[in-house]
Chain A
Amino acid sequence: MTVTDLSPVGASTGTSRPVLEIRDLHVAYGYGPEPVRALRGVNLTLHEGEVLGIAGESGCGKSTLVYAATRLLPPPGLITGGEVLFHGGVGSTGGEPVDILRMSDKELRRSRWQDTAIVFQGAMNSLNPVYRVGKQLTDAIAAHRPGMSRTDRNDRAAELLSMVGIAKDRISAYPHQLSGGMRQRVMIAMALALEPKVLIMDEPTTALDVVMQRQIVEQIIELRDRLGFSVVFITHDVSLLIEVADRIAIMYAGEIVEQASASDVYRRPRHPYTHGLLNSFPPLHGPKRPLVGIPGSPPDLQALPTGCPFRPRCAHVMDACADVHPALGPTSLGLPGVGEPGRSVACLLHDGHGEVPAELRV
């Protein structure tokens, strides 16, 4: 069985209804006259049963994006514009999507964890060390399902643990008695406690070694197939994303620069940054080739260049790049005017400003 064959429930039946729509989201850090503009007009749609990967270097806004979309952004982070529509949430009536950013505190409290659950970065530190894991698992259930008895809650917690492959008797263990991988599994079990429609995973495997990473990823894919939730998977490891995700969005300096299906991103990158990112990972298999990575350093969001933010590091930079800020649009390949179906890119090479170089038109 291949990982790519595990296509989402929604996509395989052709009904790719959106669950979460992020529209023109802007986020800034700092209240002063010169805030760091961490997100600048991000548009992203998550469909039912889909695994959407978000990749990029640290500081490109991956985590900011999901924290803003769930209103978990800590100060001095400030959402300065945009909307986040959730379809079919607990508070929705008559199939109308609700804007998470405009929910009242009460509605938000009801919706959180029920509609969208998050597995945070760093399993080591996300659990409270002074409570048993069972207690931490039942807390969320107790808050959202007040009618449930204590025994039922404990049964549910045990069921959740066995679902992620941990023996039921570990329910009374303290976090320090579990290994890093097991703690991460507890976090996943906790996130699934209320059967959310959307599961957001913020670098869930970064602190783990490859064998454990593989176990966790296989577990997530299996649970997704069984329970049919949608996943937003954030990581800087593009090669891992290509395996787990159906669709990938590549971020650079607070913007999405390319969006396409996982295999298209890997085999046919259209943005110079995506191409560079793919060339930053030495392959374990296949021919050995010299790699260059991307010259220069990741962008400073406080001193972004004019025009295209990737300009100082780009191998195909043109005069126009300094003046025109590229917008996410269709590629210049494929059908004229439409581009290639299902993918978009933010690069002037695809806006008719120049010839698309050979390695970006495969």
Chain B
Amino acid sequence: MSSDTYHAPAPPPDVPVLEARGLTKHFPVKGLRSHAVVHAVDGVDVSLRSGQVVALVGESGSGKSTIARLLARLYTQTSGEILLHGEPVTAHRGRAFRRYCRRVQMIFQDPFGSLNPVHTIRYTLTRSLRIHQPKLRGQALEDALEALLNRVQLQPERYVDKYPHELSGGQRQRVAIARALAADPEVLLADEPISMLDVSIRIGILNLLKDLRDRLGIAILYITHDIASARYFADETRVMYAGRIVEHGESELVTQEPAHPYTQLLVRSAPDPENLAAQDRTGANGEPPSMVRPPEGCRFSPRCPFATDLCRSTVPALVPVGDGRKVACWGYVEASDVEPAERDLLPVLGAARVGVSA
């Protein structure tokens, strides 16, 4: 933590680069004598390993972006801890914070708002390079600038003296990625990096991030509401609902055989031109709960067709269901693992239950 170089020693493979345990963030609600809080994120665990992409999928308001901002230390958490290479991180300002920033960088959703319109690309990137690598001067700086632009597949001579307004959305997002890479980070937090881009160039940005993951071994947290892009891009997918993680596992497994009733609803709702004939009306109804007074038990219980009194009163823990997958649903809890009084209250998922817990 205290070293001044930005190249961290190679971490042992079993320790995640960045890890969050029991991350919780409550925002106070404004108003006189108001003690209410918005339960934006509640007890979330995330671990990012180098060379791996973890997707965080959920609808708007589920707390995905809050997690990214907590991990970037732009917010301080209400409780829980963040570990960088196994060491707790407490910095949120000053020198220690800047040292942390060097290793954990963030890309924002809006490439139109995240680049200063009055500066050229050269200025923006040079600043980032000079802040994170103060010893760079002259030709070395120029070379580093060129290398950065090449890394994000923009021809340096063509783009270096342009202003942001002269670039398209995709090119701007590439510059934003280059700016993050100037710090030579170990972790990249990408908050909806493609949702504001034109459809034809989104895949290009995802492929670029994929390439960075493979070549530089960066750990990437990919935040999205599009579960199909998580399947395409991420190694592991975590599904969030109303501030909690309801399911996580290997992307292919989570998207092809969703276990949690919410993930099933999400996958069923996504347009699927391949399979028009099999597309039933989903019967989707209801909407996400109020985050100021969230439901007491499982937060999906008001919309869940299988919910019982147990679901409505007690929060289910993440239980393993095989193949490294975990699901937070009472329907996957074995009857032998609960109090005898609760056994009759376990929901029966029937055909919706997938996988067999090992």
A292 within 8 A of B: yes
B336 within 8 A of A: no
Interface membership of chain B positions 220-247, coded 1 if the CB is closer than 8 angstroms to chain A and 0 otherwise:
0000011111011100000000000000
A282 within 8 A of B: yes
B323 within 8 A of A: no
The docked-state distance in angstroms from the alpha carbon of A292 to that of B204 is 7
Q: Which of A179, A236, A266, A285 has the most chain B CB atoms inside 10 A of its CB?
A: A285
Question: Which listed residue, B199, B201, B252, B255, touches A237 by the CB 8 Å rule?
Answer: B199
> Which residues of chain A have C-beta atoms less than 8 A from B170's C-beta?
297
Q: Once the chains bind, are A285 and B256 in contact (CB under 8 Å)?
A: yes
The docked-state distance in angstroms from the alpha carbon of A283 to that of B60 is 21
Task: Knowing A2-B277, A214-B282 are in contact, say whether A280-B200 is a contact too (CB < 8 A).
Answer: yes
Task: Knowing A283-B228, A284-B228 are in contact, say whether A243-B279 is a contact too (CB < 8 A).
Answer: yes
B interface residue numbers (CB < 8 A to A): 59-60, 168, 170-171, 198-204, 207, 225-229, 231-233, 252, 255-256, 265-277, 279-282, 284-285, 287
Given contacts A209-B59, A239-B271, 12 further A-B contacts (CB under 8 A): A1-B281, A210-B59, A210-B266, A211-B59, A214-B268, A237-B199, A237-B271, A238-B199, A240-B271, A243-B273, A276-B200, A280-B201
A-B contact list, 17 entries, CB within 8 Å: A1-B280, A57-B198, A57-B200, A209-B60, A210-B269, A211-B265, A212-B287, A218-B284, A243-B273, A276-B200, A277-B200, A279-B203, A280-B203, A284-B255, A285-B256, A293-B200, A297-B201
| Nearest-CB residue, chain B, relative to A1 | B281
Task: Knowing A212-B287, A280-B202 are in contact, say whether A298-B168 is a contact too (CB < 8 A).
Answer: yes
> Which residues of chain B have C-beta atoms less than 8 A from A236's C-beta?
198-199
Q: Once the chains bind, are B281 and A284 in contact (CB under 8 Å)?
A: no
Q: Return B63 CB to nearest CB of chain A, in Å.
A: 13
Question: Which listed residue, A181, A218, A286, touches B282 by the CB 8 Å rule?
Answer: A218
The docked-state distance in angstroms from the alpha carbon of A218 to that of B269 is 10
> Which residues of chain A have C-beta atoms less than 8 A from B279's C-beta?
2-3, 243
The docked-state distance in angstroms from the alpha carbon of A288 to that of B253 is 13
Task: Knowing A1-B280, A280-B199 are in contact, say whether A297-B267 is a contact too (CB < 8 A).
Answer: no
The docked-state distance in angstroms from the alpha carbon of A253 to that of B212 is 32
User: Quick one: which of A262-293 are within 8 Å of B by CB?
Assistant: 263, 266, 276-277, 279-286, 288, 291-293
Q: Return B9 CB to nearest CB of chain A, in Å.
A: 34
Q: Once the chains bind, are A282 and B225 in contact (CB under 8 Å)?
A: no
Interface membership of chain A positions 203-220, coded 1 if the CB is closer than 8 angstroms to chain B and 0 otherwise:
000000111111100100
Q: Once the chains bind, are B280 and A297 in contact (CB under 8 Å)?
A: no
The docked-state distance in angstroms from the alpha carbon of A211 to that of B252 is 20
| Nearest-CB residue, chain A, relative to B167 | A297
Question: Which listed residue, B171, B202, B274, B285, touches A215 by the CB 8 Å rule?
Answer: B285
Question: Which listed residue, B273, B274, B276, touches A2 by the CB 8 Å rule?
Answer: B276
The docked-state distance in angstroms from the alpha carbon of A277 to that of B225 is 20
| Nearest-CB residue, chain A, relative to B281 | A218
Question: Which listed residue, B204, B270, B285, touches A210 by the CB 8 Å rule?
Answer: B270
| Nearest-CB residue, chain A, relative to B226 | A210
> Which residues of chain B have C-beta atoms less than 8 A from A279's C-beta?
203
| Nearest-CB residue, chain B, relative to A298 | B198
Question: Which listed residue, A1, A3, A291, touches B203 by the CB 8 Å rule?
Answer: A291
| Nearest-CB residue, chain B, relative to A240 | B271
B interface secondary structure, majority:
helix
Q: Which of A180, A292, A298 has the most chain B CB atoms inside 10 A of its CB?
A: A298
> Which residues of chain A have C-beta atoms less than 8 A from B252's C-beta?
288
Q: Once the chains bind, are B232 and A211 in contact (CB under 8 Å)?
A: no
| Nearest-CB residue, chain A, relative to B228 | A284
The docked-state distance in angstroms from the alpha carbon of A263 to that of B277 is 12
Task: Knowing A181-B287, A210-B270 are in contact, say whether A293-B225 is a contact too (CB < 8 A).
Answer: no
> Which residues of chain B have C-beta atoms less than 8 A from A277's C-beta?
199-200
The docked-state distance in angstroms from the alpha carbon of A280 to that of B201 is 8
Q: Once the chains bind, are A214 and B269 in contact (CB under 8 Å)?
A: yes
Q: Return A203 CB to nearest CB of chain B, in Å.
A: 12
Task: Knowing A210-B59, A212-B287, A243-B273 are in contact, say whether A284-B267 is a contact too (CB < 8 A).
Answer: yes
Q: Return B238 CB to nearest CB of chain A, in Å.
A: 16
Q: Return A156 CB to nearest CB of chain B, in Å.
A: 25
> Which residues of chain B have C-beta atoms less than 8 A from A59's C-beta?
198
A242 within 8 A of B: yes
> Which residues of chain A have C-beta atoms less than 8 A from B225's C-beta?
209-210
A128 within 8 A of B: no
Q: Once the chains bind, are B200 and A215 in contact (CB under 8 Å)?
A: no
A304 within 8 A of B: no
Q: Return B174 CB to nearest CB of chain A, in Å.
A: 11
Q: Return B212 CB to nearest CB of chain A, in Å.
A: 16
> Which residues of chain B have C-beta atoms less than 8 A from A73's C-beta?
none
Q: Once the chains bind, are B273 and A242 in contact (CB under 8 Å)?
A: yes
The docked-state distance in angstroms from the alpha carbon of A294 to that of B205 is 11
Q: Once the chains bind, are A58 and B198 in contact (CB under 8 Å)?
A: yes
The docked-state distance in angstroms from the alpha carbon of A243 to that of B280 is 12
> Which residues of chain B have C-beta atoms less than 8 A from A282's C-beta?
203, 228-229, 231-233
A12 within 8 A of B: no
The docked-state distance in angstroms from the alpha carbon of A165 to that of B286 is 11
The docked-state distance in angstroms from the alpha carbon of A1 to that of B282 is 11
Question: Which listed residue, B60, B255, B273, B285, touches A239 by the CB 8 Å rule?
Answer: B273
Q: Return A211 CB to nearest CB of chain B, in Å.
A: 5
